[in-house]
Amino acid sequence: MLAGAVILLAALYLVQGLITALQEKSPTGRPPLPTVESAAQLVLVGFRAVVVDVFWMQASDLQEEGQIDEAVAKYDKITKLQPDLADVWHYLSWNSMYNLPYELEAVEDKWNVIKLGVEYTDMAAQRVPDNGFFDKDIGFMLWHRFDDRTFPQAAYLRRKFREWKGKTNFEVAIEWMEKAVKSEEFKTLGEGSKDIWRRQIGYTLDRWTIQAFVDGELDTALRVAKLAVEKWEWISRFNKGDDPGININFDRLADAKKRLAAIKSFIASKEAAKQKTLDKASRLAAKSVDIWQSVVDVWPSGPDLPALQTATAWLERLNADKKAEKSEP
């Protein structure tokens, strides 16, 4: 045991000497990336964590200096050294989706690093298949990062994601969230935390409903609005007592039902307009506007304002058509 301790101390001394020497050569004070050969040698003698630290510091330096391609390459090496750590995948996916895009100018370049973040989540699903906390956070990122209120080029990102995956980002986000609430980690949570996890699914369906409506994908908006009502009904079944943090679910269920009614009126208005019954179309459009307005009034900071604006624009167009029709000889 004494001989082993001496050998270990000597090895640690040598590794520390290597890092110190590398730091002296680094203009930032952090060690430059060792060669693949030296990294492999360190890993083989049990210093994987040391190599990971060196890679991580150097990647951070490169990211701060705006050398994104080089930083990404070095982050990728970390995944090869620590492929089974959920924290590594979590950080890399979050960093690629939230930090790296702001270091780039062109929207295509922003998409490339966000796409890389999504690829990290796909790899994590294979390497760390059962981690509910990770699944929940990824689900959140996959709707939030593609939301108009959080990213100016979100519409472009949603389109690119759909072309790439053959699914919307909302669909994939919900898949991760549903996986999270079936995990072993979920079972260990208190009821309040469980409610937050469940509620995230409902919020994502709400935003998908609104986005599809604003984008003119009315069949999708109607279908997802029905799913949102069903999900909020399910979430509300777990309500216990008078805790306002829990019973907010009933308010969100009421909002989901209003959205469904507003979309049905809007679609009926569109059909009436096709049949040239403009008075009926206008009445139905006004009803849709009133319903969307009621949601916005109750939840001013919520995401429904674009839907209200879309419905209002349609009503104004109908009223203009009616006025033009009456003025015709």
Note the pLDDT tens digit of each residue in 23-72: 444 443 333 333 443 444 444 445 666 666 777 778 777 767 777 677 77
Domain assignment of residue 19, yes or no: no
Domain assignment of residue 74, yes or no: no
Domain assignment of residue 295, yes or no: yes
Note the pLDDT tens digit of each residue in 89-136: 777 888 889 888 888 889 999 999 999 999 888 887 777 778 898 899
Look over the chain and give the mean of its residue pLDDT values, rounded to a whole number.
82
Domain assignment of residue 269, yes or no: yes
Domain assignment of residue 243, yes or no: yes
Domain assignment of residue 213, yes or no: yes
Q: What residue numbers bound the domain in which 310 lies?
A: 190-329
The crossing angle, in degrees rounded to 10, of helices 68-81 and 107-127 is 0
Q: What is the DSSP string of 263-287?
A: HHHHHHHHHHHHTT-HHHHHHHHHH
pTM for this predicted structure: 0.78
The mean-pLDDT minimum among 178-182, 273-277, 325-329 falls in: 325-329
Domain assignment of residue 75, yes or no: no
Residues 6+ positions from 11 with CB-CB distance below 8 Å: 45, 47
Q: Name the one residue in this structure whose structure tokens are 């690829």.
A: 119
Tally of structural domains, the chain: 1
Q: What percent of the chain has pLDDT over 90?
A: 50
State how far the Cα of 97 lies from the Cα of 109, in Å rounded to an integer: 12
Burial of 280 (C-beta count, 10 Å sphere; 0-12/13-18/19+): middle
Domain assignment of residue 216, yes or no: yes
Q: Which of 262, 252, 275, 195 is nearest to 222 (CA)?
A: 262
Does 17 score more than 70 pLDDT? no
